[in-house]
Structure 1
Amino acid sequence: MENQTLAGTLVLVQPDMENDPDAKRGHIGVLTLTFSEKENYVKFPEGGESYFPAEQVMMLKDKQAVFNDLTNNGSSMPLDDFKAMYKIMLLQDRGTSQALYSALAIANDNPGIQERVLEPIIPTQKQELSKTYSR
């Protein structure tokens, strides 16, 4: 996703973050601004706004990636993890903000599936292309 499309995305602040001065570890919020890999602003429903490095702000993976992981590895994972991933996939399929919020809450409550359903946001670096001339 590009920076413009990341704004407004529901995100989860990394639950196992070590240094958390604002005590927002594991909270769900809305990504408001993405400036760089070190400065990404998240606004929280209970009030307040904080900024975090990109690797500490997690968003849901694409639902097709979750589905593929379920079909390929579902038989080898614990039943509770399978159920949680399946619920997340169904909630993503709904596509409403409430459903995505619930999916992030399920991911937050199940540490065993976080690496399977969450990925850090990656703000793209804006690059200017220089005009080239050929002879």
Structure 2
Amino acid sequence: MKNNESLNGTLVLVLPDLENNPETKRGQIGVVTYARSASENYVRFLEGNEAIYPAEQVLKLKDKQQVLDDLTKNGSSMPLDDFKAMYKIMLLQDRGTSQAIFSALAIAKDNPGVRDNVLESINPTQEQELAQTVDR
């Protein structure tokens, strides 16, 4: 349960390619208010609305070191616009403010070529499985 609680307050992006979204919030940025389980995560949006999503439909930024490593390793082979977007996201993550993270998520939303490189699901069960593997 501690892993779920650590997601509370995290800025996230609702999967932009999401189909059948009754709340019509796909591609919008919000804040996780309560991460209950892999299938039930409450996200609040700027307008004050709140919706419930499975973890795989809600994306957060990867750790900035992962983004930097990917940029260093694969930067020369990616299109220039994707490189620039990833670089901007990394710099914004380095600032660490909520406004900077919001801007980084907006850049990721607008650049589908970098989404896989900078975004990951908030799936708490993956984190729990990894923690159990390391403990053994």
Q: Normalising by the residue count of structure 2, what TM-score does the alignment of the two structures yield?
A: 0.89
The answer to whether 1:54 aligns with 2:70 is no
Tell me, in whole angstroms, the C-alpha distance in 1 between the residues paired with 2:124 and 2:33.
12
Between the aligned residues of both structures, percent identity stands at: 70
Shift of 1:124: 4.0
Aligned to 2:95: 94
Tell me, in whole angstroms, the C-alpha distance in 2 between the residues paired with 1:92 and 1:73.
19
The answer to whether 1:116 aligns with 2:117 is yes
Is the Cα contact below 8 Å between 1:28 and 1:105 reproduced in 2?
A: yes
Aligned to 1:28: 29
Tell me, in whole angstroms, the C-alpha distance in 1 between the residues paired with 2:108 and 2:99.
14
Structure 1, residues 27-63: CA drift from partner, whole Å, max 9, x if none?
A: 0000001111111000001220000000000000000
Deviant stretches of 4+, over 3 Å:
none
Aligned to 1:77: 78
Shift of 1:122: 1.7
Greater share of helix residues, 1 or 2? 2
Q: Secondary structure at the match of 1:21?
A: coil
Of the two, which has the highest radius of gyration? 1
Q: Secondary structure at the match of 1:6?
A: coil
What is the letter of the counterpart of residue 46 of structure 1?
E
Gaps of 5+ in 1: 128-135
Query: How many residue pairs end up in the alignment?
Result: 126
Q: Normalising by the residue count of structure 1, what TM-score does the alignment of the two structures yield?
A: 0.90
- Two-structure CA RMSD over aligned residues (Å): 1.5
What is the letter of the counterpart of residue 49 of structure 1?
E
What is the letter of the counterpart of residue 71 of structure 1?
T
